Structure 1
Amino acid sequence: MSLDTINFDAGDALGFATLPGERVRAFEAPETLIERIESPAPRFSLIDQMFVERGTKADWDLLHDLHYKAENLSIGPRFWKLTLDGQTIGVLVTANPKGLLKERHVAFPKIKPGGGDTVITNTDRYLFINQNFRVISRFVIDTMFRGIGAGYRMMNLVSRLEGNRIMEIQSSMSKFNHFGQKAGFRFVKPMNANRFDKGLKFFRSHFESSPGDFEGMVEELARLPAEQAEVIVADARAFYYRHSALEKTGNNRGKGRERVAAMTPREVLKSIAQMTLASPLYGVWMNPDHGREMPERLPLSAFDWQKPTEKLKVPFDA
């Protein structure tokens, strides 16, 4: 057999032809390495360029339209921002905690009123809560940066930087998106609002629509004769002011009636629904860095230096 025939047969066996006189060179197949990582976790490539730091109300104004509660802020707001190359892509607002909260009394039964409280004990309770607690009031991430793990990382780092012993959150979204749980928060069992039964009774006595169908009630009100609609709106304003602690405390104290009177029918129905039908999850995070001196800002990747409930590992470069 000639060399030409051998070359051709070899080439044909490899799936390509050779011309007479050509030689076929044999190449070793490259080694294929398959690596299996236990519990792999995806990582966003720009996370090291994102920083958590103090913000201002201007940062909230920049993104607040993306939040479903954009109308007002809670008492004593402090602003934190998430930046990427100097651009604000997330805002978290903390606020003063509520003085009394039944979900808190489940988590911390020793600070629950006992029935024999005095002015002194009530005052001391409020002082203790204000000195040790802070609450996450508003939180929004730019839609371009959702789904990359920025939310729970920022929540954890802000809770550290705030410096309080305990950070609280009341969030209905936590039932569906477990960003609070990923940040290290622990939640108590969901509870109905204090005015839940009264809210159901009010809505059912004025509307045929289900109390859970807010838009249905608004549309139903719009179809009624003007005189009948005015009576229902007046009843709604009276009901809301009578049962709303929000309109009688803090910055609203003394002007709550004026605020409620100026509400549109849609606003007052929405306020009643939020006050009576909402059942947000209550969660707390115990700050392991309480009492430590903290930097002015932290890279978002600092969340991954330790577990969510462990002390921040040092040294860090922020």
Structure 2
Amino acid sequence: MLSDTETLIERIDSPRAFFSLADEMFVERGTIDDWYLLHDLHYKAEKLPIGPRFWRLVLAGQTIGVLVTGTPKGMLRERHIVFPNLKPRSGDTRLTNTNRYHYINANFRVISRFVIDTMFRGIGAGYRMMNLVSRMEGNTFMEIQSSMSKFNAFGQKAGFKFVKPMNANKYDQVLRFFRSHFAASPQDFEAILAEIAAKPPAEQQRLAEICTDFYFRNSALENTSNGGAAMEQRRASMSLRDAVKGIQQIGLASPMYGIWKCPDPKGSVPERLALTQFDRQGPSERLRL
């Protein structure tokens, strides 16, 4: 004989998925060895920013994520939109320009490289780590320039506010340059290199010199903080691939600029945080330890 049974159904409002190992993940200081461990998974694996600091995400002692911060650029068009008082003016002197750089270096850092092991992507580790590292850095502002932010909202989830995307300053000049020297599309890196490789050696050398000259004349990075005698050394050693890539970067790249202001008093953030600490307060609220 069957007895009556009672079925209980629980319905959770706004349910959220949770990765069971997240409680065992921690964010802490790393080293360049952590970057070398995972850097092949990053599309800019060959270079590091000026003044790098390394942070890692660990699980059971194993590095599963690396974030590299760097020294911010002295001049940035999108930053001047958010901070108009930092924009250079006609009456600026050497003293005001110097003090501007001092202020930026003392109060800003920039997220330069960020990679999560492929085994742990899609669980929300990226934006959580980005937010916690931005707090642990101890600066007032954290910047990010990321083309991926157009397609993946990890920066927005971490609390960053973004400026409307804009074409690069050299967009028109770079398009004219490529179209005047190559039949390949200006955006197609490999097609441009293949077109050059199909030409006689003398013509290849001529195009290499033209590309290198155009890059160094138009690169704001090369003509500001990286100028001087060292620039001539870099020019002499620059490969054709790097020259073409550099030209595309200064003219065709349009990364979104994001900014985040730290709500925590300097010196109050621990040197090691559980990844789940992100969920105990809003992205722009003070830590609730």
TM-score range normalised by the length of the shorter chain: over 0.9
Mapped pair 1:98 → 2:80 = no
Cα-to-partner distance string for 1:3-44 (whole Å, 9 max, x where unaligned): xxxxxxxxxxxxxxxxxxxxxx22323x22222222111111
Query: What corresponds to 2:281 in structure 1?
Result: 306
Cα-to-partner distance string for 1:151-172 (whole Å, 9 max, x where unaligned): 0000000000001000000000
Contact 1:103 1:282 in 2 (8 A): yes
Query: What corresponds to 1:86 in structure 2?
Result: 61
Q: CA deviation at 1:253?
A: 4.9
* TM norm structure 1: 0.88
Contact 1:187 1:281 in 2 (8 A): yes
Cα-to-partner distance string for 1:249-298 (whole Å, 9 max, x where unaligned): 55675322222332322221111111211000000001001324221100
AA of the residue aligned to 2:115: V
Q: CA deviation at 1:246?
A: 2.8
Query: What corresponds to 1:9 in structure 2?
Result: none
Distance 1:58 1:249, change over 3 A: farther
Whole-angstrom CA distance in 2 between matches of 1:173 and 1:73: 18
Cα-to-partner distance string for 1:201-258 (whole Å, 9 max, x where unaligned): 1111111111112221111111122221211111001111112233355567532222
AA of the residue aligned to 2:187: G
Percent pairwise identity: 63
Query: What corresponds to 2:218 in structure 1?
Result: 243
Cα-to-partner distance string for 1:119-157 (whole Å, 9 max, x where unaligned): 111111111111111110111111111100000000000
Name which of 19, 23, 27 aligns with 2:3.
27
Query: What corresponds to 2:118 in structure 1?
Result: 143
Provide the secondary structure at the position in 1 that maps to 2:26.
Answer: strand
Q: CA deviation at 1:67?
A: 0.6
Q: How does 1:183-194 map to 2 (within 5 A)?
A: 183-194=158-169
Whole-angstrom CA distance in 1 between matches of 2:127 and 2:228: 34
- Equivalent pairs, count: 289
Whole-angstrom CA distance in 1 between matches of 2:39 and 2:204: 32
Query: What corresponds to 1:180 in structure 2?
Result: 155
Whole-angstrom CA distance in 1 between matches of 2:224 and 2:36: 24
Provide the secondary structure at the position in 2 that maps to 1:208.
Answer: coil
Name which of 29, 32, 35 aligns with 1:60.
35
Contact 1:156 1:308 in 2 (8 A): yes
Name which of 133, 138, 146 aligns with 2:108.
133
Whole-angstrom CA distance in 1 between matches of 2:182 and 2:12: 57
Q: How does 1:62-77 map to 2 (within 5 A)?
A: 62-77=37-52
Provide the secondary structure at the position in 2 that maps to 1:255.
Answer: helix
Which consecutive unaligned segments of at least 5 residues does structure 2 have? Answer: none
Query: What corresponds to 1:8 in structure 2?
Result: none
AA of the residue aligned to 1:222: A
Mapped pair 1:157 → 2:123 = no
Distance 1:251 1:111, change over 3 A: closer
Query: What corresponds to 1:108 in structure 2?
Result: 83
